[in-house]
Amino acid sequence: MKVRSLFAFSILLSAISGTANATTYSLPENSNDSVITEFTDDVPLMRAEQSETLPDVARRFLLGQTEIVRLNPEVDRWHVKKDEIVRLANKRILPDTPHEGITLNIAEYRMYYYPPTQKGTAPQVMSYAHGIGRQDWKTPLGKTSIVRKVKDPSWHPPESIRREHAANGDPLPAVVPPGPHNPLGAYKMHLAVPGGYLIHGTDIDKIYGIGMQITHGCVRMYPEDIEALYHSVPVGTSVYMVKQPIKVGWLDNTLYIEAHPDLEGEETTLDQKLDVALKLIQKANIARDGVYAAGQSETGTAQNMPEFDREALKQALTVLDGNPVALYQRLL
């Protein structure tokens, strides 16, 4: 793993404060590629400058708690010692959705926003960590849109949530006014989904729950992230809510796979994951072959599976750390 070059860079990034915004990526120059990269190092690392927790690191680098824990299975979640090395996220494979509006991939607790491309600028995508619905309050799937936006909202807890809190000895008022302890945070955006589902901020008491399966079905974001998104997207913006724990994509003629664990309450076997992955690999290869069939030379037919690294595939589907793994490189 490459440690040397990011240490100086991590000192700069560690200064990120509560005013930081989303991680912004340039989309690949090749429109058929779908892997985005933040750092030049394949495995970016940082050295802890003080004793802290993995959620502290996640907060500073705008990652989710589940994500940072998966990337650092050997690090104590609640005690990162001074000078200990922490692995950060780098490459991501874009979900298989249109590159427009917002995509929520609940399987990875992450949102992708494709802002309109300005004339003379390269297309970009902004990525945000977010929390999703618990096993018994699942976040819905499907295409929807933002229908209303509200700044400094009051929270009117639904009767079902009030009953749940009362049963746990934590009764809720009928209305929670705006402020630092409002669970909706400072901004909320209504989705055109029956049941009152929202994209919203968080209160100071639950800020470390971003990137976890913890909400009553809504999508919860870091305060600075929801603020940036709120001011960026207009009412009517399309929202694609998908569950893609396994993603496959190309970058510079290299095929990658990214695999995430099952959500709580769900369980798929390694064989089931392998079946999904093989279909995605074949789909990606057929799409790539179509490009070559349009005029470039490439050996084989669209129906052939590439001779990819099957051990790397099995490892990715076993470790499930969300880190894209290279499976195959085309020879031009």
Q: What are 46's strand-pairing partners?
A: 86
Q: Which of the residues 130, 190, 200, 216 is marked catalytic?
A: 200
In contact, 171 and 211? CB cutoff 8 Å? no
* Sequence letter at residue 177: P
Q: Which of the residues 130, 190, 216, 218 is marked catalytic?
A: 218
200 is catalytic: yes
CB atoms within 10 A of CB 70: 19
**Phi/psi of residue 77, nearest 5 degrees:** -55, -35
218 is catalytic: yes
In contact, 67 and 211? CB cutoff 8 Å? yes
Helix 310-319 crosses helix 270-293 at what angle (to 10 degrees)? 130
Positions marked catalytic: 200, 218
